[in-house]
Amino acid sequence: MDNELHRFRMYNPNQNEEINRRDMFGKTDGKELDDREMKNFYGPEITEKDGELLDKHDSFYITTKSLLVLFQLTGVMPIMRVPKDAQTTKRTTFNWISKATFWAYFVWSLESIIVIKVGRERLSNFQQNSTKRFDEVIYNIIFLSILIPHFLLPIASWRHGHQVAIFKNMWTQYQLKYLKITGTPIVFPNLYSLTWGLCAFSWGLSIAVILSQHYLQDDFELWHSFAYYHIIAMLDGFCSLWYINCNAFGTASKGLAMNLHSALEAEHPSLKLAQYRHLWVDLSHMMQQLGRA
């Protein structure tokens, strides 16, 4: 009877977790796992000494760098990359008093002058001319509304700079951890050319749409268009960035699933499964962070 009770002994969740870890390492003698085995259970640890490796294997940053630089030049997202010799795991940073942020202040201020001047003139023309057709009234309202996102940039974008930096650093560290566990890097096919193409498309579409209004609307002067180019391009850029991130998540997920088959055939498959589980959890956390960034 005692043996039967022992077989069905209940453990609390912490005890069950510890028992599972022992089973993965073949620890049936009741001994505790040492620090090295615990580190293997959670996967390789990324330290500050891995700074050079983080930069070297950060394929996601390398392939999407063009869009990030474009965001920096236009003042949309003033995040910065630390020097390659910096001993830190945080390769991407955001600071309200950094060079990139001061440049964003400067660019946004110049753009604000143009936007305000164009907005006031178009609003004045709209109020003074009472003989406009209905479609012209609608177009004027639409193009006055398009100017609003410019003033939301400090709130909608810069305010989340720290979260964006966290998201970028999560990607950087994940790729190195993925490489150490699976033995293969994450490869993003066509992402480099796709990013460049989306950068060109964002500005090309913006210029085409706004210039066409100069010829379609009688009161839309050519210099008015300079208040709109960066706004349309910024909105297109955000959509492009979202698509690129989703594309990268899909690539990482497929690679993880493909490597899982070889992991099952390796030595200590239960340990490998535990490490792959943590890779999958990390990927899930990054997807959650994408919603905050």
One DSSP character per residue, 55-83 reads HHT-HHHHHHHHHHHHHHHTTS---EEPP
| Residue 209 phi, psi dihedral angles, 5° rounding | -65, -45
Q: How many helices (H) and strands (E) does the chain have?
A: 12, 2
0.85 cut: is pTM over it? no
Please report the sign of the dihedral spanned by the C-alpha atoms of residue 114, residue 115, residue 116, residue 122.
Answer: positive
Each domain of the chain, given as residue ranges in start order, spans: 1-33, 44-292
How far apart are alpha carbons 234 and 104 in whole angstroms?
Answer: 13
How far apart are alpha carbons 13 and 80 in whole angstroms?
Answer: 43
Please report the sign of the dihedral spanned by the C-alpha atoms of residue 113, residue 115, residue 116, residue 120.
Answer: positive
- 50-81 per-position pLDDT tens digit: 888 999 999 999 999 999 999 999 999 999 99
- Would you give the end-to-end CA distance of the chain in angstroms? 58
How far apart are alpha carbons 29 and 187 in whole angstroms?
Answer: 42
CB 33 within 8 A of CB 22: yes
- 196-227 per-position pLDDT tens digit: 999 999 999 999 999 998 888 878 889 999 99
CA 221 to chain centroid: 37
- 268-293 per-position pLDDT tens digit: 677 788 888 889 999 999 999 988 87
